[in-house]
């Protein structure tokens, strides 16, 4: 069965969500209004804004002592950053060094959606066959209500170049490369980053009720390298790719696009915020469309590279 695009970002994300251009450059729309796509980096010495390959330190519009927590809950994040770099407001800076980058998370909880791509449905049915769990994945793929689960608190999240973990009691572990939404307390999608939903397939496959243990543990999640803040919807051609390096050689590589995602990000957010409040906002991972073959399991020392068009590449080592 072929996957079909069930949502068309360009048409449907207009009012509340921001989006991702094919590349991170400022661009001129027809009316010559500049709508820059910006990247926001969290570094050991504060935050840095990138626009059109130029880097800026926050400008005068920055509130006194504005923290990352405050910044990343703003519904007007795009306009706020823009004001800081326009009209000579912000001072130019150097590209942040990789070793200075931090996970772009403040006090947010991290949640995740599951079985949003056909490939994920297929893999879960297979892994849980002997436990009789296959039917659940089939049903949730087609249901109106999505699978949403709690993934991590900030202390379980690592940033760019950080070490993600595989559980000691897991015999079969994989990374899950996912588009992550940064959602404000008022349920507005204000940015995008790359997420790695590290998972134990042996524990999840033994019994679907073990999902929280398969998913939530120390260093179970990576986010970064930046927050993409853009005024336009994500194109469905946006590519998500995964490469796993072992001993300097490519062990597994695959790619998908957002066109293969069955759910609309706005609808995932809408379900997540039903009867549920997020005073610090949250990150929502949108599910994986890439699952390595069943013969593959991660090993210590593996390097996981996840790239998303327009955002960049998140690199982590298993350690």
Residue 72 touches which of ligand DO4, Mg ion, none (Cβ within 5-8 Å per kind):
none
Single out the residue of 224, 287, 292, 310 in contact with ligand DO4 (rule: CB under 6 A).
Answer: 287
Options 103, 112, 189, 242; binder of ligand DO4; rule CB under 6 A: 112
What are the E-state strand segments in the chain?
A: 38-43, 46-51, 54-57, 91-93, 109-114, 147-152, 157-158, 163-164, 173-174, 177-183, 189-197, 199-200, 221-229, 239-246, 249-257, 282-285, 303-308, 312-318
Pick 198 or 307: Cβ nearer Mg ion: 198
**Binder of residue 124, out of Mg ion, ligand DO4, none (CB less than 5 to 8 A by kind):** ligand DO4
Contact 63, 70 (CB under 8 A): yes
265 binds ligand DO4 (CB under 6 A): no
State the minimum distance, in angstroms, from the CB of residue 115 to ligand DO4.
5
- CB closest to Mg ion, residue no: 197
Distances (CA, A) of 294 to 1, 39, 70, 167, 174: 19, 36, 42, 18, 10
Can you tell me the distance from the alpha carbon of 85 to that of 87, in angstroms, rounded to the nearest whole number? 7
Contact call for residue 120 and ligand DO4 (CB under 6 A):
yes
Nearer to ligand DO4 among residue 214 and residue 234 (C-beta): 214
State the nearest-atom distance from the C-beta of 85 to Mg ion, in Å: 34
The reply on whether position 96 binds ligand DO4 by CB under 6 A is no
Q: What is the spatial distance between Cα 256 and Cα 251, in angstroms, rounded to a whole number?
A: 18
Binding site for ligand DO4 (CB under 6 A): 112, 114-116, 120, 124, 147, 176, 197, 211, 287-288
């Amino acid at each position: 069965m072929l996957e079909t695009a069930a949502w068309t970002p360009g048409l449907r994300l207009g009012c509340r969500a921001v989006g991702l251009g094919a590349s991170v450059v400022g661009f001129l729309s027809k009316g010559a209004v500049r709508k820059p796509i910006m990247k926001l980096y969290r570094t050991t010495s504060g935050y840095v804004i990138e626009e059109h390959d130029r880097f800026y330190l926050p400008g005068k519009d920055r509130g006194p002592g504005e923290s990352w927590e405050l910044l990343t809950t703003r519904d007007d994040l795009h306009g706020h950053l823009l004001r800081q770099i326009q009209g000579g407001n912000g001072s130019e800076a150097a590209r942040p060094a990789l070793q200075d980058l931090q996970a772009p998370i403040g006090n947010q909880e991290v949640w995740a959606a599951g079985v949003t791509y056909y490939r994920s449905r297929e893999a879960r049915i297979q892994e849980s066959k002997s436990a009789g769990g296959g039917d659940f994945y089939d049903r949730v793929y087609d249901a109106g209500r999505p699978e949403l689960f709690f993934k991590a608190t900030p202390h379980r999240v690592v940033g760019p170049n950080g070490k993600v973990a595989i559980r000691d009691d897991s015999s079969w572990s994989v990374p899950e490369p996912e588009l992550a939404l940064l959602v404000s307390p008022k349920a507005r999608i204000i940015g995008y980053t790359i997420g790695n939903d590290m998972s134990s397939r042996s524990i999840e496959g033994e019994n679907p009720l073990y999902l929280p243990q398969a998913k939530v543990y120390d260093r179970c999640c990576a986010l970064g390298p930046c927050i993409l803040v853009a005024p336009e919807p994500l194109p469905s051609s946006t590519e998500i790719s995964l490469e796993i390096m072992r001993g300097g050689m490519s062990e597994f590589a695959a790619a998908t696009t957002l066109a293969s995602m069955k759910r609309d990000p706005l609808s995932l957010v809408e379900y997540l915020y039903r009867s549920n409040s997020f005073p610090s906002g949250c990150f929502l991972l949108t599910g994986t469309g890439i699952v390595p073959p069943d013969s593959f399991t991660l090993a210590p020392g593996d390097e996981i590279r996840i790239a998303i068009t327009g955002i960049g590449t998140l690199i982590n080592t298993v350690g």
